[in-house]
């Protein structure tokens, strides 16, 4: 370990590998709201955050568990389709709140094409929020709607034992993986309809 009168101990979160302060400083200096995307083992969290002197202020947020509890999502809450829908939900809420643009903050996630963080970004973009990005990092449309999962389910359907083992989570909710793309579309429509109703209700109360 380095020592000496000029040595400065890095911040705790930097030592623990939780925060890249150089990247965070650049994002804050942009003075634009941050689109914060975080992926845990089981969920996706998407937020629009503003940096204030007293600390970060969350403008709007969406959690992939909401897809399941509120919008009837029966698929996995941590895959690419779920990441897109969570981003889409957050993006619609951002527009309602007046947040029209943001800069992407992916934390310590690696920059790999088609990753879940970029699926969430695609959802936010499709909701109408402007976020600077490169088109080459966004996942293909077929992956966003879960076609790769549906195709894999079709391939395994001839082997019931393996099919049951691989897709027990889907089957326990009554969803066959081959139907995931259609289920994705219906869930997206529910999200759009729900936000539209919230906007109409808010305008009606004014």
pLDDT recorded at residue 90: 98
Q: What is the pLDDT of residues 11-68, one digit of tens each?
A: 565 555 555 556 666 566 667 899 999 999 999 999 999 988 787 899 999 999 999 9
Q: What is the pLDDT of residues 81-121, one digit of tens each?
A: 999 999 999 999 999 999 999 999 887 666 788 899 999 99
Opening angle at CA 203, ends 201 and 204, nearest 5: 60
* Residue 200 banded pLDDT, cuts 50, 70, 90: confident
Q: What is the pLDDT of residues 147-173, one digit of tens each?
A: 999 999 999 999 999 999 999 999 999
pLDDT recorded at residue 111: 72
Question: Percent of the chain, pLDDT > 70?
Answer: 82
Bridge partners of residue 101, in order along the sequence: 130
State the Cα–Cα distance between residues 25 and 27, nearest whole angstrom. Answer: 5
- Report field, pTM of the whole predicted structure over 0.75: yes
State the Cα–Cα distance between residues 132 and 102, nearest whole angstrom. Answer: 8
- CA distances to 42, 83, 150, 167 from 196, in Å: 28, 21, 30, 33
Domains of the chain plus CATH, in order, are: 18-204 (3.30.420.100)
């Amino acid at each position: 370990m380095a020592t000496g009168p000029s040595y400065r101990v890095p911040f705790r979160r930097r030592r623990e590998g939780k925060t890249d302060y150089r990247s965070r400083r650049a994002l804050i200096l942009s003075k634009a709201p941050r689109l914060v995307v975080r992926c845990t083992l089981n969920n996706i969290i998407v937020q629009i955050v503003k940096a204030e002197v007293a600390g970060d202020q969350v403008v709007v947020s969406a959690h992939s568990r909401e897809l399941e509890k509120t919008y009837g999502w029966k698929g996995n809450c941590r895959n690419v389709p779920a990441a897109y829908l969570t981003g889409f939900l957050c993006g619609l809420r951002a527009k309602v709140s007046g947040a029209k643009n943001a800069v992407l903050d992916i934390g310590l996630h690696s920059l790999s094409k088609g990753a879940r963080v970029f699926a969430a970004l695609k959802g936010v973009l499709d909701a109408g929020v402007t976020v600077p990005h490169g088109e080459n990092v966004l996942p293909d449309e077929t992956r966003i709607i879960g076609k790769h999962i549906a195709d894999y389910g079709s391939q395994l359907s001839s082997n019931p034992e393996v099919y049951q083992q691989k897709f027990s989570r889907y089957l326990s909710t009554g969803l066959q993986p081959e139907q995931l793309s259609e289920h994705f579309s219906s869930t997206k429509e529910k999200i759009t309809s729900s936000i539209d109703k919230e906007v109409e209700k808010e305008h009606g109360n004014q």
